[in-house]
Amino acid sequence: MPDLDRVVREIADEMRARPDRGTVASYIPELARADAAAFGLAVVDVEGRAAVAGDGDVPFSIQSISKVFTLTLALGMAGDRLWRRVGREPSGSPFNSIVQLEREAGVPRNPFINAGAIAVTDLILSGHQPREALGEILRFMQALALDQTIAIDEAVAASEKRTGFRNAALANYMRSFGVIENPVDYTLGVYFHHCAIAMTCRQLATAGLFLAHDGRHPLTGHSVISAERARRINAVMLTCGHYDGSGEFAYRVGLPGKSGVGGGILAIAPGKASVAVWSPGLDAAGNSHLGRIALESLTKRMGWSIFAA
């Protein structure tokens, strides 16, 4: 069994030395300011040992990684009713495609493409004020990460709101089919804000631990979600977590994972550890370029692929 601390350190060093870095997302102006040279990695195992390297304690915008946590929260609130509003099949399309919605009566293919995550947000919002719903999401993240200082980057949220016309199109489209029930502006407001939560790799890996531990947070002992639901969230992450690069991620990394356009990726090694990596440059499918390479190297060295004997 290789030494986790050493492996994490070596990978961080290797990644920082690489010249290929992908392209920093520019469609949200505020995100375009991220430092392309940044690289952070944090692994927290199910016994609570953390290995952190590089910029693993620098906060970044988690963006779509928040969708894993809103899905967890919404499943807790609505149970399997949730699946009437959103499917769980890979989409075969980019993250913001609207074509599939037209073909399938406004029901998004899965909770990890934008449309699906907006529908999940709408479910969390039901019967609440946007501020309340957002507070609940934020407190959930803080509790999972064991850190009350986690906050929303209001500049990023405002930047997304100003330029999020494509998400507004998706939301209005779903509203026309009744898949979204709250005022579109409310739902989008909550959505833009939870995407704008800023976290470090260490916080994110800690927050994801319950998925590596059959739904129970190993550090607090609290049951976050049932073991079956935890397995199933992992399954959806594996098949749908990286948009139209999900097959590639499963093929190369072999772990359930969820990426965000801020350059972060959360990956789960069931029974072993929760991993967060961050590097702002993205590949063509919108996933962190170095992040994916680092995770491929990590699972290989640690023998963590869920597809290995």
Q: Which active-site residues does the annotation give? A: 64, 67, 191, 243, 261
Q: Among 9, 128, 166, 301, which residue interacts with a second copy (rule: CB under 8 A)? A: 166
Of residues 3, 35, 47, 89, which one binds a second copy by CB under 8 A?
89
∠42-232-196 over CA atoms, to 5°? 50
Q: Answer yes or no whether residue 169 interacts with a second copy by CB under 8 A.
A: yes
The answer to the question of residue 154 lying near a second copy (CB under 8 A) is no
For the beta carbon of residue 88, count every other beta carbon within 10 angstroms: 17
**Cα torsion angle, 21, 26, 28, 29, sign:** positive
Which residues, in sequence order, are CB contacts of 50 under 8 Å at separation 6+? 42, 43, 44, 202, 205, 206
- Do residues 65 and 258 touch, judged by C-beta distance below 8 A? yes
- Residue 9 or 231: the one with the smaller Cβ distance to a second copy is 231
Contact region for a second copy (CB under 8 A) — 52-60, 72-80, 88-96, 120-128? 88-96
Q: Select the residue interacting with a second copy from 189, 256, 257, 262 (CB under 8 A).
A: 256
- Kindly state the smallest distance separating residue 59's Cβ from a second copy, in Å: 28
Contact residue for a second copy among 21, 193, 194, 213 (CB under 8 A) = 213
Contact between 159 and a second copy by CB under 8 A: the answer reads no
* By the rule CB under 8 A, 175 interacts with a second copy: yes
**Closest of 14, 19, 26, 8 to residue 282, by C-alpha:** 26
CB closer to a second copy, 72 vs 110: 110
First to last CA, the chain: 15
Stretch near a second copy under the rule CB under 8 A, chosen from 9-17, 30-38, 52-60, 96-104: 96-104
Q: Which of 19, 20, 149, 308 binds a second copy (CB under 8 A)?
A: 308
Residue 234 assigned to a binding site? no
Binding mask 183-212 for a second copy (x = CB under 8 A): -x---------------------------x
Member of 77, 105, 155, 227 binding a second copy (CB under 8 A): 227
Binding of a second copy by 99 (CB under 8 A)? yes
Q: For 204, phi and psi rounded to 5 degrees?
A: -65, -45
| Among the listed residues 24, 22, 174, the one whose alpha carbon sits nearest the alpha carbon of residue 108 | 174
Q: Which residues pair with 198 in a beta bridge?
A: 61, 151
- Of the pair 20, 80, the CB lying nearest a second copy is at 80
Distance from C-alpha of 225 to C-alpha of 82, rounded to nearest angstrom: 15
Residues that bind a second copy (CB under 8 A): 46, 87-93, 97-103, 109-110, 165-166, 168-173, 175-176, 184, 212-214, 227, 230-232, 234-236, 238-240, 244-248, 250-252, 254, 256, 270-271, 305-309
